[in-house]
Chains A and B, each alone.
Chain A
Amino acid sequence: MTTFVKGNEAVVIGALYAGCEAFFGYPITPASEISHAASAWFPGVGREFLQAECETASINMVYGAASAGKRAMTATSGPGMSLMQEGISYMAGAELPGVIVNIQRAGPGLGNVYPEQGDYNQAVKGGGHGNYHCIVLAPGNVQEMCDLTIKAFELAFRHRNPAIVLGDAVMGQMMETLRLPAAECPPDDTRAWAVQGNAETRRNLITSIFLNAPMQEEHNRHLQAKYEAMRTEALCETYLVDDAEVVLTGYGISSRIARSAVDVLRRQGVKAGLFRPITLYPFPTCQLRQAAEGRPVVVIEHSCGQYRDDVAFHLGVPAESLTLVNRMGGILVTVEQVVEGVTARLSGKCCCCCPEATATPASGTCDSAPACPPVVP
Chain B
Amino acid sequence: MNIKKSVGFYDTFDRSGSATRDTHYCAGCGHGILHKLICEALVDLGIQDRTVIVNPIGCAVFGYYYWDTGNVGAAHGRAQAVATAMNRTLPGRVVISYQGDGDLGAIGFNSTFQAASRGEHFATFFVNNAIYGMTGGQLAPTTLLGQKTATSPAGRRAEHEGYPLHVCEVLNQLKAPVYIARCSLADTKRIMQAKQAVRKALEIQRDGKGYAFVEFLSPCPTNMRLNAVQSARFVIEQMEAEYPLGCLRDDSAEATPRPAPAPAPAPSVFFRELATEGTAQPDPHFVEKRMKVAGFGGQGILSLGIAVAEAGRFAGQHSSWFPSYGPEQRGGSASCTVVVSGQQIGSPDATTPDVLVCMNRPAFERFAPTVRKGGLLICDAMAGVGPGEAPEGVRMVTIPASELAEQLGVPRAANTVMLAALSYLDATGLPREKLLEALDASFVKKPKLIPINRKVFEAATEWCRENIKEHGQ
Chain A residues in contact with chain B, CB under 8 A? 1-5, 13, 16-17, 21-22, 24, 29-30, 41, 43-48, 50, 52-54, 56-58, 60-65, 67-68, 70, 72, 86-87, 90, 94, 112-114, 142, 169-170, 173-177, 180, 183-184, 195-199, 201-209, 212, 215, 256-263, 332, 334-336
Q: Is the CB of B95 within 8 A of A197?
A: yes
**4 more CB-based (< 8 A) A-B contacts, given A41-B270, A44-B270, A202-B49:** A29-B325, A46-B261, A87-B78, A258-B346
A-B contact pairs, 23 of them (CB 8 A): A5-B274, A17-B267, A41-B270, A43-B264, A46-B261, A46-B262, A62-B85, A63-B74, A67-B72, A72-B85, A86-B75, A87-B75, A170-B349, A177-B318, A180-B268, A184-B266, A195-B72, A197-B49, A197-B92, A197-B93, A262-B346, A335-B346, A335-B351
Given contacts A174-B322, A184-B268, A256-B347, A209 and B73 within 8 Å (CB-CB): yes
Structural contact, B85 and A65, CB atoms closer than 8 A: yes
Query: A48's contact among B61, B88, B271, B320, by CB below 8 Å, is which?
Result: B88
Tell me, yes or no, whether B114 is within 8 Å of chain A by CB. yes
| Docked pose: A72 CA to B90 CA in angstroms | 13
Contact B306 A197 (CB under 8 A): no
Cα A54 to Cα B267 in complex, Å, equals: 28
Closest to A258 in B: B346
CB atoms of B276 and A3 under 8 A apart: yes
The reply to whether A212 and B17 form a contact with Cβ atoms under 8 Å apart is: yes
State whether the Cβ of B277 lies closer than 8 Å to any Cβ in chain A.
yes
Is B51 a contact of A206 with CB atoms below 8 Å?
no
A22 to chain B: which residues have CB within 8 Å?
A: 85, 88-89
Q: Is B272 an interface residue (CB 8 A)?
A: yes
B81's contact among A52, A68, A195, A215, by CB below 8 Å, is which? A52
Q: Which residues of A contact B346 (CB under 8 A)?
A: 256-263, 335
The reply to whether B50 and A197 form a contact with Cβ atoms under 8 Å apart is yes
Instruction: Digitize B263-305: 1 where CB-to-A-CB distance is under 8 Å, 0 elsewhere.
Output: 1111110111011111000000000000000000000000000
Q: How far is the CB of B73 from chain A (nearest CB, A)?
A: 3
In the bound complex, how far is the Cα of B393 from the Cα of A49, in angstroms?
A: 54
Counting CB contacts under 8 A, is B209 at the interface? no
Of B62-70, B172-180, B243-251, B373-381, which stretch is located at the interface?
B62-70
Q: Which residues of A contact B89 (CB under 8 A)?
A: 21-22, 48, 64-65, 68, 70, 72
B82 touches A63 (CB 8 A): yes
Task: Return chain B residues, CB-CB under 8 Å to A195.
Answer: 52, 70-72, 86
B357 contacts chain A at the CB level, 8 A cutoff: no
- B111 — nearest CB in chain A belongs to which residue? A57
Contact of B348 among A56, A174, A336 (CB under 8 A): A174
- Which residues on A sit within 8 Å (CB–CB) of B347? 256-257, 259-260, 332, 335
B326 at the interface (CB under 8 A from A): yes
Asked if B319 lies at the interface with its beta carbon under 8 angstroms from chain A, I say yes
B309 touches A173 (CB 8 A): no
On chain B, which size bracket covers the interface? 35 or more
Q: Which residue of A is nearest B82, CB measured? A: A64
B216 CB–A CB distance under 8 Å? no
**B313:A177 contact, CB within 8 angstroms:** yes
Q: Mark B43-67, 1 if CB is under 8 A from A, else 0.
A: 0000011111011000001001000
Contact in complex: A207, B268 (CB < 8 Å): no
Check B26 for interface membership: any CB of A closer than 8 A: no
Chain A residue with the shortest CB-CB distance to B50? A197
In the docked arrangement, what's the CA distance between A90 and B76, Å?
11
Q: A175 near B94 (CB under 8 angstroms)? A: no
In the complex, whether B323 has a CB less than 8 A from a CB of chain A is yes
Q: What distance in Å separates the Cβ of B326 from its nearest Cβ neighbour in chain A?
A: 4
Contact residues in B for A173 (Cβ distance below 8 Å): 322-323, 325
Interface contact B114-A46, CB-CB below 8 Å: no
Q: Is B192 an interface residue (CB 8 A)?
A: no
- Tell which of B55, B83, B85, B327 touches A24, judged by Cβ atoms closer than 8 Å: B85
* Contact for A114 among B83, B94, B326, CB less than 8 A: B326
Report if B321 contacts A (CB, 8 A). Answer: yes
Q: CA separation between A176 and B313, bound complex, in Å?
A: 9
Assess the B73–A50 pair: CB atoms within 8 A.
no
A29 to B348, CA, bound (A): 20
CA distance A209 to B351 in the complex (A): 53
Query: Could you tell me if A207 and B64 are in contact, using CB atoms closer than 8 angstroms?
Result: yes
Q: Are B94 and A332 in contact (CB under 8 A)?
A: no
B 309-350 binary contact with A (CB < 8 Å = 1; else 0): 110010000111111011100000000000000001111110
Contact present for B72 and A206 (CB under 8 Å): yes
Q: Which residues of chain B are within 8 angstroms of A72 by Cβ–Cβ distance?
A: 85, 89
CA separation between A195 and B52, bound complex, in Å?
Answer: 7
Proximity string of chain B (77-104) to chain A, C-beta cutoff 8 Å, 1 when within and 0 when not? 0100111111011101111000000000
Q: Smallest CB-CB separation from A66: which chain B residue?
A: B85
- Complex-state Cα separation, A169 to B326, whole angstroms: 10
Write the chain A residue with the least CB distance to B317. Answer: A177
Output the least CB separation between A55 and chain B (Å): 11
Asked whether B322 lies within 8 Å of A67 as measured between CB atoms, the reply is no
Q: Bound complex: CA of A196 vs CA of B50, how far in Å?
A: 8
Name the interface residues of B83-140: CB closer than 8 Å to any CB of A.
83-86, 88-90, 92-95, 110-111, 114
Question: Closest residue to A337 on the B side, CB-wise?
Answer: B351
Measured between beta carbons, the chain B residues less than 8 angstroms from A44 are: 264-265, 270
Asked if B16 CB lies within 8 Å of chain A CBs, one says yes
Out of B71, B271, B349, name the residue touching A3 (CB < 8 Å).
B271
| Closest CB in chain B relative to A158 CB, distance in Å | 20
Query: B61: nearest residue on chain A (CB-CB)?
Result: A209
Chain B hits for A199, CB < 8 A = 49
Tell me the complex Cα distance, A142–B322, Å: 11
| B residues near A180, Cβ cutoff 8 Å | 268, 271, 275
Contact A56 B78, beta carbon cutoff 8 Å? yes
CB-defined contacts of A208 to chain B, threshold 8 Å: 73
Complex Cα spacing A202 to B53, Å: 10
**Closest chain B residue to A215, Cβ basis:** B16
Instruction: Please determine whether B325 and A30 come into contact, CB atoms closer than 8 angstroms.
Output: yes
Q: Is the CB of A53 within 8 A of B49?
A: no
Q: Once bound together, how far apart are the Cα atoms of A195 and B53, in whole Å?
A: 10
In the complex the two chains form, is B74's CB within 8 Å of A176's CB? no
Which B residues are in CB contact (< 8 Å) with A202?
Answer: 48-49, 68-70
Q: Cα distance A21–B93 when bound, in Å?
A: 17
Chain A residues contacting B344 (CB-CB under 8 Å) are 259
B337 to chain A, nearest CB (A): 9
| Bound CA–CA A50/B86 (angstroms) | 13
Contacts of A206 in B (CB 8 A): 71-73
Q: How far is the CA of A260 from the CA of B352 in the complex (A)?
A: 13
Query: Do residues B72 and A64 form an inter-chain contact, with CB atoms below 8 A?
Result: yes
